[in-house]
Structures are given as C-alpha cells and as structure tokens.
Structure 1
Amino acid sequence: MIEKELRDVTEGYSLNEDGTIQVVTRAFNPVKNKAMEATGTIEFKGAEKRGELEVACYLPIYLDYNVLDIDEGYQYALVSGSGLDYLWLLSCESSMPEEMKQRFLQRATSLGFDIDKLEWLDY
C-alpha cells in the first residue's frame, strides 16, 4: 500500500510457519475518508541476516524491501525500495528520537536519497 496522503500508518509483522513474514499495513486516507488495510508477505532474498527482502501485497508481484540501517534494540529502521524512489523511517513508537532520525537521514543522504522529498506524518 504505497499511497500518498495516508495518516495513522501502522505495520504489524508476524512470522509464518514457512519462514516468510506476514505484514499487515493499516492506515487512514483522509482524502477518501476511509480506513485502508493491506496484507502482504515478506521473503528473504538471500541470507536472513543481510536485510534484503521482498514484499508482496499483490501476489505474484514482489517489491524490494531493503533494511539499510537499524538500531541496536530493533526499535527503529531505515528501509528502502530497490532504487532511490522509496525510503521509510520506521519506528515501533509513534515518534523517533531526534538523534536516531538524524542518523538515518545522514545515512540516506550518503546513499544518494533526496531527503527533501520525504513526507513526514503527523501523529
């Protein structure tokens, strides 16, 4: 569910018996005035410790889901798609410490992402 103008976006992850990961994304679209939900499957592309995954909400179409950086406690992550067009700063909380945000933004900039294009959600 990659759409603009979404609010209250949450994702829940759970491990499936076959080793894949189920992801459920929920959000509210104020333009359409409705709640939205998408369920997808995440698979590792290679070694499970590399952070290179693929996610599919509409099988059999898989999109890259690359973990670029993660904090030591697994509370915050910097994730991208296959190129420089999609980038997410993810948090287990409704906010992220400023130092973690700056760390991720610096990493993204060093990789070539245009962080001025990021859309920030209000919670």
Structure 2
Amino acid sequence: MVLRAGLLRHLACVLALALPGFLAACSSTRPPEGLTAVTPFDIQSYQGRWYEVARLDHSFERGLSDVTAQYSLQKDGSVRVVNRGYDAAKGGWNEAVGRALFTGETRTGSLKVSFFGPFYGGYHVIALDKGYQWAVVVGPDRGYCWILSRSKTISPALRSDLTARVRAAGINPDDLIWMSQQRQDPAS
C-alpha cells in the first residue's frame, strides 16, 4: 500500500511538471520559422464558408472529401470554426466545432485553434487573395498546409500559382492531396 501511494504521488508530480510543457507545445503563437502571417488581415472579410481545395495528409482529416470550413466572429473576439467533410467509408458527414483566438494583433492572420478543450494548434494564413477568394494556411509547422477557396474549384492558372506559393513556403506541393468537392453538404 505504501509503495502504491508513493507511486501515485510520483506520477502526480511527473504529470504536474510535464503538463505545462505539453500544453505550451500544443499552442503555436508564431508561424513556422521563415514564414510570415498575412498583414493586414481582416477577420470580417475572412468569415464565411471556405472550401478545402488541397491539404497535406494528417490523421484528423484522413479519408474525408468535400471538406469545408466555416468561420464566424464571436462577441468575445474569438472565432467559431466549423469543419465538415464527407467520410465515404462511413457513408456520412463528420463535423468538428472549434474555437480560434488571435495570437497577437487582430490585423495579422495568425491564430491558434482548438477542437479539444485546452489544446491549441497554430493556424497561420501565409498567403491571401486581396479579395479574400483564396488562402494558403499552415499549422504550427510545415507538416500542416491547406489551400482554401471561396469556390469549389480553382482554375489551372490559380492552381499553378498556389502550388508555387506552397513550394516557396518550403512545403513539397507533390505531397498535397487535391480535394473532391462533388457532394452537396446538407448543412449548407
């Protein structure tokens, strides 16, 4: 019993020491080294529905098509994020609702987003059309990249331009998964 109580105290101490570091690692306040978030950035213009045109593969969107992101400014200054995508293997829509906070000035496109309580990840807009019709976004590192558009498809010329921007950001554009936007989201 004494050994068990000692072990539990030790585990509690380890968790108490490790948790702040873990939480800090989950919150990226700056874009990856060498990249700069867009300034000026206007959240009012960024609000609304975006279609995911391309992304790097990662576990939380693996297998999804027809992915959209809906951003809306909240009264407290946070941004509500609703991501939806179609999972063909399950035959239905997946939805994740999160909250984003600016990591600095609201005129800079650098936010942190949480879909899981206190755990935040970086969301950095590194390229943005002046009319807010397309965006290139990276996460806390170059392992996360999204190309977003206000329309379901983009022209070959725009695809070439955005691919060049991704390459210039130090991300291999050959690793991008180009999305299908064939289904009509019933929530739209």
What RMSD in Å do the two structures reach over aligned CA positions? Answer: 1.4
Partner of 1:108: 166
Letter in 2 for 1:103: D
- Identify which range, 97-106 or 72-81, moves more after superposition: 97-106
Letter in 1 for 2:145: L
Q: Does 1:36 align with 2:36?
A: no
Rounded Cα–Cα distance in structure 2 between residues aligned with 1:30 and 1:6: 7
Rounded Cα–Cα distance in structure 1 between residues aligned with 2:77 and 2:157: 33
Going by fraction, where is helix more abundant, 1 or 2? Answer: 2
TM-score when normalising by structure 1: 0.93
Using the aligned pairs only, state the percent identity: 34
- Identify which range, 3-12 or 66-75, moves more after superposition: 3-12
Q: How does 1:1-123 map to 2 (within 5 A)?
A: 2-123=60-181
TM-score when normalising by structure 2: 0.62
**Structure whose CA Rg is larger:** 2
Structure 2: state its 5+ residue gaps: 1-58, 182-188
- Which structure would you say has the larger RCO, counting Cα contacts within 8 Å and 6 or more residues apart? 2
- Identify which range, 75-84 or 98-107, moves more after superposition: 98-107
Which 4+ residue blocks in structure 1 deviate beyond 4 angstroms? none
Letter in 1 for 2:108: R
Offset at residue 32 of structure 1 (A): 2.1
SS at 1:55 equivalent: strand
Paired residues in the alignment total 123
SS at 1:74 equivalent: coil
Going by fraction, where is strand more abundant, 1 or 2? Answer: 1
Post-superposition Cα deviations, 1:16-74, rounded to whole Å, max 9, x if no partner, equal: 00001001111111122221111000111011122111011111110100101000100
Letter in 2 for 1:67: V
- Identify which range, 1-10 or 55-64, moves more after superposition: 1-10
SS at 1:119 equivalent: strand
Does the 8 A contact of 1:76 with 1:96 survive in 2?
Answer: no
Rounded Cα–Cα distance in structure 2 between residues aligned with 1:96 and 1:48: 28
Rounded Cα–Cα distance in structure 1 between residues aligned with 2:74 and 2:171: 32
Offset at residue 78 of structure 1 (A): 0.3
Offset at residue 110 of structure 1 (A): 1.2
